[in-house]
A and B are shown apart, each in its own frame.
Chain A
Amino acid sequence: MVVYSSIIGVGRTVFGEHYERNPEDLIEEAGLNALINANIERKDIEAIYISDYFLQITNKIGIEEGFLAELLNLNIPMERFRSFSSALMNACLAIYSGRYNVILVGGVEKISDRLDKIRDDLMMLYDPWTYYSGGTPESSHELMLREYIKTHNIVDKSYNKFMESLAYVSVKNHKFGSRNKYAQFYGREIKIDDVLNARCISKGILGMYDYAPPITGYPSDGSTAAIIANPRIAYEYSDKPIHIIGLGSATDYISYTLRPKRIGFKSVELAGSKALGEAGISINNIQIAELYDQSTIMEMALLEDLGFCDYGKSWEHIYNSYVENKLYYELDDGVLYVNTNGGLKADGNPLGALGGAQIFEVISQLRGVSNDRQIKVENELKYGLTVELEGFGTKAYVFVFRGD
């Protein structure tokens, strides 16, 4: 089995509005936290891979690397990516190739600096024709929901149950997020009726509580960082390095309308099976997963694309958790915890930094340092997985982690 790299430290900021702070200030805080967590010095870093989506637009920052070089007084190689997961994947491959031993991976976003125009800017993650036709950041989610309902013929009583199970995704994620002191909605639990009422207010299929920031109107600023090292030297720095044992990434058409698969994402299917195949484990071995819940329907669809549930069945598992008031999903072959940090919904989604929060959570859980969010499973907690998407499933990144 391959170990691509080992994560020796993670750090992050609180997600939410950081009105008084520059993006550099946020990345500094997350980076320092990660350095402290990994117990290394600035000079130990051999390269930096940083990610952000919109700094060029929100803050008119064109060369992020230069800001970091200045901030750290370092002249080491640095590269810039869009999502944290793409930065991490490339960093993993760089470590695996033997080029570097220690890399700082960081992500940052400062959406609130351009709140008035961000809804239109977010349409850059779609194809222009979607925008020209009046598409919004929400509309593709709702079209997928309609396709799901029609394809699986969810009607009458089932329809109401189905919509409740979707609502429960949000309730569950808020429950976790309310216990996460870094989360945008720390201390903010919601009830199933809140989600259902928000749908009445929106007078659409889904409501505000079905969507995660930034498309709810709540911007998420924030930064995350991880220090990854060559597994050979990981133990020199950390007692409990977490190993990345599977990587997968895939793409899909930018135009949702032109995709042959419009329920769930082909990209997730491909990236997931690739990552699991490399890790040499089956999906049933995964005990904790961070799934990209930009909307409640997305968490539901991703469960199916990754193979946790059969197509058209994930909502029934979710519904059972709702009825039995459980924070995990009981699948055919065991128990799965999803989005224990609160997910995008409650933790927040500072696009470029988001993947770092997923990794932060899985690492903390596998290390057993998640305090009152720490999950307990029957066997030893060993395998975790993250899925991050760019755009509406246009790119998918899947990582499989193994605890020490």
Chain B
Amino acid sequence: MSSEPIERRVSYIGDKLRGSRCSICGGMYFKPRDYCGSCGRVSIGRMEEFSLFFEKGKLETCTIVREPTNSFRKLESFIYGIVAFHNGKIRIPARLTDYIVPRENVEISLFEGREVTPRFRRRYSVGPDEIIPTTSLTFTFIDEYYPYQHYEIIKPNKIYENPGIVGYGFYTSRFRIKEGNMIRAVPFLDEDSITATVEAAKWALIHSAIDHSLIGKVYVGTESNPYAVKPIASKVIQVLDLGEKLGNGVQGVDAIDTEFACKAATSMIKDAVSLVSYEKSNIQFTMVIGADNSQSSPRDSPSGELDFFVGFGAAAFIIGKYDVIAEVEGWYSATSDTADFWRRDGQRYPSHGGRFTGEPAYFKHIAKAASKIMEKMSLKPSDIQYFVCHQPNIPFPVRVARILGFKEDQYLPGLQVGRFGNIYAGSSLLGLAAILDVAKPYERILLVSYGSGAGSDAYVFVTTPQILSKRFRIEKFNVRYQAENKFLQYINYDTYRRFKEGI
């Protein structure tokens, strides 16, 4: 049985790899402490907190654990070792993740001496009624799938009239399953929608280069939160230190999870935009993240058709008025009470209405929201360079794009479902991220989400010249990089189901 206070303390330190630095001798300690072991009493009050979360380290020594302790059994085998930061000034124990250890002998020395970066993951297995333990004492090699990009805070230099996207990040794992014409992203055993959310938010922060303490509200839209009650957003603000520090581990920031099937996140963009526009809110930046470890029952059970399409990942967007890369020009939403896809409380997997998820649900809402916003803003399809919408499979978004009068060069850049699968609440946002990766200044993007239940949010964005000047910070880990990375690992169906269920 996990202890709530212990879990709070361990995750507070371990999720962000917090430590203390002695301002007298420069000595560094993993785990915050009140005085320096070398300097003694004089150092009291002169210790500074630091974090290793955005750093890279070196795997100094390691071994293979093939017979883990009970709590780690589901991971089977993994590499365990010592990671040194700041040239050995600080060392921490580490588990390597995202690596399937081969059954045969492995040459340990091939791993030693390589650079690694912390990854936010589940710590180990616990019972279904317990707090989910998390950690960042898990690492991956920076010369493989997940690169290292320094998080640099730069003072913004331009304020825009309209708020918009200031930074964004998309994250999915290195594992894929390939079936037919679909390649789908699969979480590693220790990943879930919580860890993906934090990863995407981290890259959005890196891309935006804004000060993390200036974020005033975080919205996380998902339908696969492993908790029925307990937000993911609170984890994001803790791991990334969002908002003003109030002491005692409390941040001066608002955080909320939202749920409306696959439009849970897109719905909040207009709220995020409004918040930064309202002078008295005193909020400079907000963050909207759509994330899902998309759920589906196994193939051989009712509603198991989804199992051919579900993906994994998260897309995060920082909204504000400074150094904007894409201004929000307008929005429109449409809603009806259409139960085409649902999951009752206590059920593990969602159910859906078969062919009724198409015509009376998906197509109707997307088409209405898209036509209405174009009408409202007097836009023709030819005024819009990119069209992106919710992508549960390949044919649906293609058909709706054609119905609305968009051509291939307008809808293909955002059509990503064939390379990642349906990321539910992150699906249309993944498409938006892919477009932002390639768009030129002054181009117009129409985004239309769809959430079962049912409704659509339509947004029109227009890019700014800063989309180019800020691009280099996300280039290393943009959507295309994650789709075409040479370290992608393809797994079979049995492994895919096991990874989906996690530890």
Contacts and interface: CB of A to CB of B under 8 A. Distances in A.
A121 to B, nearest CB: 9
Interface in B15-62: 30-31, 61-62
A45 B135 CA distance: 52
Interface stretch (A4-12, A61-69, A188-196, A198-206): A198-206
Given A129-B14, A129-B137, A134-B95, A147 B61 contact: yes
A139 B63 contact: yes
A146 B93 contact: no
B68 interface: yes
Interface string A251-266: 0000111100000000
Contacts of A256: 93
Contacts of A139: 63, 65, 80
Interface core residue of A123, A142, A255, A257 (most chain B CB under 10 Å): A257
Interface in A108-132: 116-117, 119-120, 123, 128-132
B100 to A, nearest CB: 14
A150 B93 contact: no
A143 interface: yes
A146 B63 contact: yes
B64 interface: yes
Contact of A203 (B62, B68, B72, B104): B104
A368 interface: no
A122 to B, nearest CB: 8
A130 B14 CA distance: 12
Given A205-B108, A257-B82, A257-B91, A132 B135 contact: yes
A136 B82 contact: no
B20 to A, nearest CB: 13
Interface core residue of A129, A131, A138, A150 (most chain B CB under 10 Å): A129
A132 B80 contact: no
B455 interface: no
B70 A133 contact: no
B488 interface: no
Contacts of B75: 134
Contact of B61 (A128, A138, A146, A200): A146
Interface in B52-99: 61-72, 75, 78, 80-82, 91-95
A312 interface: no
Given A130-B93, A203-B105, A136 B65 contact: yes
A147 B103 CA distance: 24
Interface in A143-166: 143, 145-147, 150
B63 A120 contact: no
Contacts of B95: 133-134
Contacts of B390: none
B68 to A, nearest CB: 6
B61 A143 contact: yes
A146 B108 contact: yes
A257 B92 contact: yes
A202 B66 contact: yes
Nearest to A127: B93
A138 B64 CA distance: 10
Interface in A161-189: none
Contacts of A257: 82, 91-93
Contacts of B94: 133
A307 interface: no
A146 B69 contact: no
B108 A134 contact: no
A135 interface: yes
B93 A119 contact: no
Interface in A344-391: none
Contacts of B67: 136, 138, 202
B10 A134 contact: no
Given A132-B137, A143-B62, A203-B104, 15 more contacts: A119-B69, A123-B69, A129-B30, A130-B93, A131-B69, A133-B93, A133-B135, A133-B138, A134-B69, A136-B67, A139-B63, A147-B61, A150-B61, A205-B64, A205-B108
Interface of B: 10, 14, 30-31, 61-72, 75, 78, 80-82, 91-95, 103-106, 108, 112, 123-124, 133, 135, 137-138
The 9 closest A-B pairs by CB, nearest first: A142-B63, A134-B95, A133-B93, A133-B137, A257-B91, A146-B61, A120-B69, A133-B95, A130-B93
27 contacts: A116-B70, A123-B69, A129-B93, A131-B69, A132-B93, A132-B135, A133-B80, A133-B137, A133-B138, A134-B75, A134-B95, A135-B65, A136-B67, A136-B80, A139-B80, A143-B81, A143-B82, A145-B63, A146-B62, A146-B108, A150-B61, A150-B112, A202-B67, A203-B105, A204-B63, A255-B93, A258-B30
